[in-house]
Amino acid sequence: MRLSFPPARSYYLLGNAAAPRPALQGEIKADVCVLGGGIAGCSAALHLAQRGYRVALLEARSVGYGASGRSGGQTIFGLAASQQKLSVEVGRADAHRLFNLSVEALDLTQSLIREHAIDCDYHPNHVHVALKARHVQELRQWADELRDEYAYESASMLDREETHAHVHSDRYLAGLLDRRSGHLHPLKYTQGLARAAEAAGAAIYETSEVLHYQDGPQVSVHTAQGTVRCAHLVLCGNAYIGAVAPALARRILGVGTYIIATEPLGEAMAHDLLPTNAAVADINWILDYFRRSQDHRLLFGGRVSYSSVQPPRLADSMRKRMVRVFPALAHAKIDYAWGGYLDITLSRAPNFGRLSANVYYLQGFSGHGIALAGLAGKLAGEAIAGTAERFDVFARIPHRDFPGGPIFRRPSLMAAMLYYRLRDLL
């Protein structure tokens, strides 16, 4: 199934429409071709170009058009799969390495922002919040695991009053604050990485959808109007990889998630809602996540669609979720409502690896891509340069195809999700 975005305009485009880049024309040669102009692809292009490789990046639409440029913008430690699950899948030692790499991803995000002077409204602090007693216990167990098993010191448990100091809502019973995590403007960040890659020598081509590639000692990557001949290919198409790499497409599913942006609320009201300017996410399966924008709006995300169809009356349904958290916003105008697709794996663990000796792929970030995708691009650069140990920690995570094939996997997953929706109500 070919995914397409609804025509709704994302808030992130406000004042951030970049000048279009040319499309690929004719045949060019490169050391590395990168498919996809999101965070992973731009990071890979940047780190490879810094190593002296000739890099050509091909983007089907425009840089940051997909999940990287329209997401909730939250930078969060850890992976979407639990550490317990990872320990079973890859062993305790590699589970520790994966966690430490996820923390490195947070540090890398901040260092890239500083090094390349990326103006992307970064703010520290993130709070996971509990809606019910079961959630409080889960957060306590999580905090204990982070401290005792992983020696992670920047996360701390909050009681109800302490949580209220970060999130001015009566809805939440407790929280887990992480001072190392945070939030940013995802489109500005992705565009900043692209500019940094170009400054390092990478060539970026937009409106250059990859139709297919031919494997071999020299890889040929074909668009409608051009071809890249290269020694290495890095596939960062994620939810849009489709027919370019069917073996990869079977391991991920594009899941719709949605965000609204209120009108500017004014600094005083925005501060009253989120006094410390932390990003927030609850721990339901179908979660709500929200944060303040630089111009004092509330950006509120949630809902999911496993059917690839945008929910009807999106702004109204999202407003209802927002008002449950912040009743004071019952009459706030909604200026923007939009959606996008994140790529999930069956296990929710990221899926990095090789299709052949010189074809690499990065996908399956499962909602943790803002920070992790930047590190993924760096690791791909390391692997191509001959140091693959860190990349291979991720490559050792086992993955299975979604069941049901191209026709039935969405309906079967929608049925399975009913269990988790019902669990959220308990």
Cβ atoms within 10 Å of 44's Cβ, excluding its own: 32
Confidence of residue 1 (pLDDT cuts 50, 70, 90): very low
The reported pLDDT for the residue numbered 307 is 60
Per-residue pLDDT of 346-377, as tens digits, reads: 999 999 999 999 999 999 999 999 999 999 99
d(Cα 151, Cα 136) in Å, to the nearest integer? 21
> With b meaning 16 or more CB within 10 Å and e meaning fewer, what string describes 408-420?
ebbeebeeeeeee
% of the chain with per-residue pLDDT over 90 = 86
d(Cα 281, Cα 177) in Å, to the nearest integer? 11
Q: Please, how many CA atoms are within 13 Å of residue 299, restricted to the half-sphere of its CB?
A: 26
d(Cα 289, Cα 320) in Å, to the nearest integer? 14
Within a domain: 3: no
* Cβ-proximal residues to 332 (8 Å cutoff; 6+ apart), any chain: 262, 263, 265, 298
Would you state the structure tokens that stand for residue 84, as one six-digit string? 């317990």
Report the predicted TM-score, pTM, of the whole model to 2 decimal places. Answer: 0.94
d(Cα 389, Cα 397) in Å, to the nearest integer? 13
Tokens 């996540």 sit at which residue? Answer: 289
State the DSSP code for 19.
P
State the DSSP code for 14.
T
Per-residue pLDDT of 219-241, as tens digits, reads: 999 999 999 999 999 999 999 99
Within a domain: 323: yes
d(Cα 369, Cα 371) in Å, to the nearest integer? 6
**Which range (21-35, 213-227, 397-411) has the least confidence?**
397-411
Number of structural domains found in the chain:
1
Q: Can you spell out the DSSP letters for 61-73?
A: S-TT-SGGGTS--
What is the domain-level CATH number for residue 215? 3.50.50.60
Q: What is the mean pLDDT of residues 330-339?
A: 96
Q: What is the mean pLDDT of residues 331-350?
A: 94
Domain that holds residue 104: 11-413
Within a domain: 419: no
Alpha-carbon 206 to chain mean position: 21
The reported pLDDT for the residue numbered 403 is 84
Within a domain: 153: yes
Nearest to 302 by CA among 315, 294, 254: 315
Q: What is the mean pLDDT of residues 187-201?
A: 98
